Each structure stands twice: as C-alpha cells, then as structure tokens.
Amino acid sequence: MLLHIPGIFTAEEVTRIRGALEQAEWADGKVTAGYQSASAKHNQQLAEGDPLAREISSAMLQRLWNHPLFVSAVLPCKVYPPLFNRYTAGGSFGYHIDNAIRAIQGSPEQVRTDVSATLFFSEPESYDGGELVIQDTYGSHRVKHAAGDLVIYPASSLHKVEPVTRGARLASFFWVQSMVREDSQRALLFEMDQAIQSLARDVPGHSALLQLTGNYHNLLRRWAEV
C-alpha cells in the first residue's frame, strides 16, 4: 500500500529543520547501503549518532506514533531510528529493494522492514529531479511531495531516487516493523478502519458499528505478531 500523509511538520517547523540540516556535517551515504545497493547509491547522510538526527527523529516519531492515519495504515510495532539524506549535484539511488532485517546500531535490537517511509524537508520547486519512483503491481509511481509530508510504501517494493540536477533534496527515511507482516492484510485492515471511522462520524450510533469494529479486531487478533 502506497500512502501519502501530509503535514507531519508545519511550514514553519520545516523551515527551521531544513536550516539546521543545511548546516550539518554530511557523510557518504553508502555507509547504510546493503552489499548490492551500495554501487547504486550516490548521496550523503547524517551519521546515525548525530545529535541533530536524534533530535529531529525524536520529534518525528512522537508525531507519527500519535498520528491516527499513520497508526491505522502501518500498525507499528518497532521502528528503525530515522536516518537523514541529502541528494545534490546529480546524486541518485538506482533501483533496489531494502534489506529485510536492520540491526539497530549500538543495540541488540533488530527490525524487520515491513514498511518504508520518507519524510520530505525540501519543497518540490526548490530542486529538479529527485523523484522517489516506486514500482508495484499497478506500475511505477513518481513521488515528490511537499516539505513536511510523508510517504509510506511496502519495503518489498522495487524503488529508486532519480538524479537531482538542481538544488538539494533533504529528507528523512526509516523502516517500520508492523504488527501485521503482510501488506495485503494491512491494506484490508486500513480500509476497514477508515470505513468504521467514516461511519462513526456520519451515522454515530449505527448498529453496524459494533459488528464491524468486532470484525476488525478479530482480524487484527488473527494476523498480528507482537
């Protein structure tokens, strides 16, 4: 499931974050690439232990774990701490599939990468190229959202970042281990949850709400791994 979640950060917040990121010390992005994807990756990243990365990550995750749409779509269990990248001067990342398991640096914890996420910090008009291209059963999708917006998609998807030919593309990316491993099952639960919420708003007290909510939780109980 490919989903756009707008406005994780406001325009004012994005301006402050982007200003801090522009002053940061960037390193070669290949440090977090897998064996096969390293040759296709041409960008820069903040070090995982960078204080700025930790500060922004903490604010991001606090927002997301309390965001109804994100929680409904992802059903998060564990998260790989957000990373930050910068594409400029022709930087790109060729087609690849994300590693299935990520070990958290300095921790025995590991995360199964069910869902990939990118949060944009550069306005689309400030750079040329840099589209996130995601392939699924319905074809290729070109993603270039407003600063402060998030996109989520299955980590099993083949995807790439087009070369940035003008300006700089600043973003955060991370992976989530969902309580529900299968994307098709998460999509079904998301659609059901959204329908229940819509019915509750439009026809509060409808007799079907109890049965639908029960069905949702019984499916979640059947599929969830916690």
The answer, yes or no, to whether residue 57 has pLDDT greater than 60, is yes
Q: Which of 186, 192, 205, 225 is nearest to 1 (CA)?
A: 186
Instruction: Find out whether 153 and 119 touch, Cβ atoms under 8 Å.
Output: no
Q: Which residues, 6+ apart, have CB-to-CB distance to 51 below 8 Å? A: none
Strand segments (E) across the chain: 3-5, 27-28, 41-42, 44-45, 76-79, 83-88, 92-96, 101-103, 110-112, 115-120, 128-129, 132-136, 139-143, 150-154, 158-161, 164-166, 168-178
Average pLDDT, the chain: 95
3-state secondary structure of 47: coil
The answer, yes or no, to whether residue 36 has pLDDT greater than 70, is no
The answer, yes or no, to whether residue 35 has pLDDT greater than 80, is no
pLDDT band at 226 (very low <50, low <70, confident <90, very high): confident
The answer, yes or no, to whether residue 41 has pLDDT greater than 90, is no
Locate 145 and state its tokens.
């959202």
Interval 189-211: pLDDT, tens: 999 999 999 999 999 989 999 99
Average pLDDT over residues 72-100: 96
Query: C-alpha 173: how far from its chain's center?
Result: 6
Interval 127-186: pLDDT, tens: 999 999 999 988 999 999 999 999 999 999 999 999 999 999 999 999 999 999 999 999
The answer, yes or no, to whether residue 40 has pLDDT greater than 90, is no
Rounding to the nearest 10 degrees, give the CA dihedral for residues 62, 63, 68, 72. Answer: -60
**What is the CATH T-level fold of the domain 183-223, as seen in this structure?**
DNA Excision Repair, Uvrb; Chain A (4.10.860)
What is the pLDDT at residue 29? 78
Same fold, 3-178 and 183-223: no
- pTM for the structure as a whole: 0.93
Instruction: Find out whether 40 and 93 touch, Cβ atoms under 8 Å.
Output: yes
The answer, yes or no, to whether residue 38 has pLDDT greater than 90, is no
User: What value, to the nearest 5°, has the Cα angle with vertex 24 and ends 20 and 26?
Assistant: 145
Higher model confidence: residue 97 or residue 38?
A: 97
The answer, yes or no, to whether residue 9 has pLDDT greater than 60, is yes
The answer, yes or no, to whether residue 49 has pLDDT greater than 90, is no
Q: Please report, in range form, the residues annotated as the binding site for 2-oxoglutarate.
A: 169
Rounded to whole angstroms, the Cα distance separating 204 from 188 reads 23
What is the pLDDT at residue 30? 73
Q: Please report, in range form, the residues annotated as the binding site for Fe cation.
A: 96, 98, 159
Cα dihedral 204, 205, 211, 213 sign: positive
Q: Please report, in range form, the residues annotated as the binding site.
A: 96, 98, 159, 169
What is the pLDDT at residue 91? 96
CATH of span 3-178 = 2.60.120.620
Average pLDDT over residues 56-85: 97
Average pLDDT over residues 46-69: 95
How is the chain split into domains, by residue range? 3-178, 183-223
The answer, yes or no, to whether residue 37 has pLDDT greater than 70, is no
